Amino acid sequence: MTSDIMARREGAIGHISLSRAKALNSLTLEMCEAMIAALLQWRGDASVAAVVIDHAPHTRGFCAGGDVAMVRSSALEDGGKAGRAFFMAEYRLNHLLFTYPRPVISFMDGVTMGGGVGIALPASLRVATENTLFAMPEGAIGLFPDVGAGWYLPRLPGQIGKFMALTGARLDGAECLWAGIATHYLASEDVEEAKALIAAEPAAAAEILTDLSSPSPQPRLAGNAEPIERLFGPDTLEAIIAALKADTSRWAGKELAAVTSKCPTSAKVALRQFASAPADFAGEMAREYALAARMIMRHDFIDGVRAVLVDKDNRPKWKPGQAEAVSEEMLDAIFAPLPPGEEWTPLALAD
């Protein structure tokens, strides 16, 4: 098992801690495979009553995403083969957690973005703290809201999910609780006590977290619920941009800049994701895998990762650069099913 994952038994729980300190616990293929192996082992062990996922004490943040620098290199060097292998494993991990037969408790005590969202939101109990920083920032690198975000974000209240997908907005712990992303809000100083109590009595996990919960600060996002509902309500990217332009408030101007700085194709892919959801989570993961297989080979992803992570000039050159230039035919090609034998499949599990 990779040293970037710490998997062990503590009482009646299986405990997974992310431990890739130098990269804010961003997921690698090996980390995904190690987590899958631990989860499968515990799945067959009747003495494991629940699973806890968190980050190791010596690391900062829960999980900042996936190893997109590797995926970019794969797109440039091997036609995306290694990148697709990563997404196959990551999405299988996401699906395994979503369908896991025991309760899963995630502690989002720090940065929780991209791939981190994919291992946090399948949990039945999701804990935010004052350290939580939650976002789906894929539009900034020419990707799209993945790891199941096409399932989760449209189910948030009102237009919150669409707002997050198009702006890359960063929510704090109080905002996560208000939006329903988190089920509980704890002071970070109480997190270790919560884990110890849950290890001793997993069946009482929800009650333990409720008893240890702290009053959360007033969520800032709640104050913008009305303009989010109104300005992000339109079905098309062009109409959302027009609505933001027509609003003279400072808030609308800030969000207009956020939306228009992101990859237009990524934004339109997200809106199409939200408009039609598969019947189940496995279907969503299969669709997202097909999207990822195509999106990582596009100029936008390669240059987006260059701008954010390689050269760090934050000046990607999107192609197309305007919403109007992203046609329905382009989107149809991105959303087309993969050829037989190349599709995503969930793990084959014995009953």
Coil, helix or strand for 208? helix
Q: Is 349 a member of any domain?
A: no
Q: Is 115 a catalytic residue?
A: yes
How many separate domains does the chain show?
Answer: 1
Q: Is residue 350 part of a domain?
A: no
Instruction: Give DSSP secondary structure letters for 132-197.
Output: -EEE--GGGGT--S-TTHHHHGGGSSTTHHHHHHHH-PPEEHHHHHHHTS-SEE--GGGHHHHHHH
Among 90, 109, 146, 300, the active-site one is 146
Asked whether residue 115 carries a pLDDT value surpassing 80, the answer given is yes
- Active-site pick, 115, 148, 161, 168: 115
Instruction: Give pLDDT tens digits for 172-205.
Output: 999 999 999 999 999 999 999 999 999 999 999 9
Exactly one of 66, 116, 150, 168 is catalytic; which is it? Answer: 66
**Per the domain annotation, does 98 fall within a domain?**
yes
Q: What is the pLDDT of residue 2?
A: 79
Please pick, among 54, 67, 90, 138, the residue that the annotation labels catalytic.
138
Q: Which of 344, 335, 309 is nearest to 73 (CA)?
A: 309
Range of the domain at 88: 5-335
222: closest CA among 288, 177, 272? 177
> d(Cα 307, Cα 262) in Å, to the nearest integer?
12
**Which has more confidence, 60 or 171?**
171
> What is the per-residue pLDDT across 216-242, written as a single tens digit (0 to 9) for each?
999 999 999 999 999 999 999 999 999
Does 54 reside within a domain? Answer: yes
In a domain, 346, yes or no: no
pLDDT tens, position by position, 256-308: 999 999 999 999 999 999 999 899 999 999 999 999 999 999 999 999 999 99
What one-letter code names the amino acid at 173?
G
Active site residue 66: yes
pTM to 2 decimals? 0.97
CATH number of the domain within which 65 lies: 3.90.226.10
Answer yes or no: are the C-beta atoms of 27 and 67 closer than 8 Å.
yes
Distance (Å, rounded) from C-alpha 316 to C-alpha 313? Answer: 8
**Which H helix or E strand runs over 119?**
helix 115-120
